[in-house]
Amino acid sequence: MSALVIRLLVLNILLVTAPATLFPQEDQVVQKRYTIQRSSKLFLKGTSNVNAFTCNCEDRFPAQTFKVENGGQHALFSNVRLRMRTRKFNCQNGKIDRDMYKALKADEFAFISIELLETWYNPEQLKKAGTNQWFAVKAKVKLTITGVTKEQFIEAEAKKTADNQFSLRGEKSLLMTDYGIDPPGALFGLIKVNDLITFHFNLDISLEDVSEEQ
């Protein structure tokens, strides 16, 4: 169920790359802190040969500090890592939950790890974007699931909702087999989960400046 993970990575990247106020002047490096608000929604959708299912992420994440360097049309990030607890995905179905945890090897790999590397944006679009106006962002992340690490690109939309407050939305589709995950099956193979999973996110994020001494 690698999509579960992706969603988080996506939200993490997007959340730090969304606002115009986030980026320092070109070639400068600044330190920021971001918080993912409880109003945020993260979930993944998948299908089987008999029905569809949705798994909600019920994990909560502490505020984290990161550094960002503005390169003009893109930004480089350091120390932006997110770890999601595998068993915090709830599909509202005990059988599906158990199959998912087994597929993700939750006993061996308790966390799914996401690292934000770089984001791209349109400077002119960023300048024109006012409060409650969506603009496009693209991010490169490093995603690790069941010990397999791959770089992924994620596209989303972001908007400023208030001073230092932002929303991010989007989706990302992944193949479980790309991460060495066998799609779960049940009833002697009569029910089989499809390989493709799509993660959806709608995140509310707050940002604040952090001094280098902290």
CA-nearest of 27, 20, 44, 52 to 104 is: 44
- Which of 9-18, 42-51, 88-97 shows the lowest mean pLDDT across its residues? 9-18
Going along the chain from its start, the domains and CATH numbers come out as 2-209 (2.40.128.110)
Q: How far apart are CA 193 and CA 96, in angstroms?
A: 10
Q: How far apart are CA 207 and CA 64, in angstroms?
A: 10
Q: Retrieve residue 144's tokens.
A: 């690790």
Average pLDDT over residues 179-197: 79
Task: Judge whether residue 13 has pLDDT over 50.
Answer: no
Quick one: 182 exposed, middle or buried, by C-beta within 10 A (0-12, 13-18, 19+)? exposed
Confidence of residue 128 (pLDDT cuts 50, 70, 90): low
CA-nearest of 209, 151, 143, 108 to 7 is: 143
E strands present in 71-190: 74-78, 81-85, 89-90, 111-120, 135-145, 148-162, 165-175, 185-186
Higher pLDDT, 113 or 176: 176
Q: Please name every residue paired with 204 in a beta bridge, in sequence order, or none if there are none.
A: 167
Confidence of residue 199 (pLDDT cuts 50, 70, 90): confident
pLDDT score at 63: 83
Confidence of residue 170 (pLDDT cuts 50, 70, 90): confident
pLDDT score at 148: 93
Q: Are 113 and 154 in contact (CB under 8 A)?
A: no
pLDDT score at 175: 93
Task: Judge whether residue 189 has pLDDT over 70.
Answer: no
* pLDDT per residue as tens digits for the range 72-93: 566 777 777 777 888 998 988 8
Average pLDDT over residues 22-31: 61
Q: Are 170 and 201 in contact (CB under 8 A)?
A: yes
Quote the mean pLDDT of the chain: 78
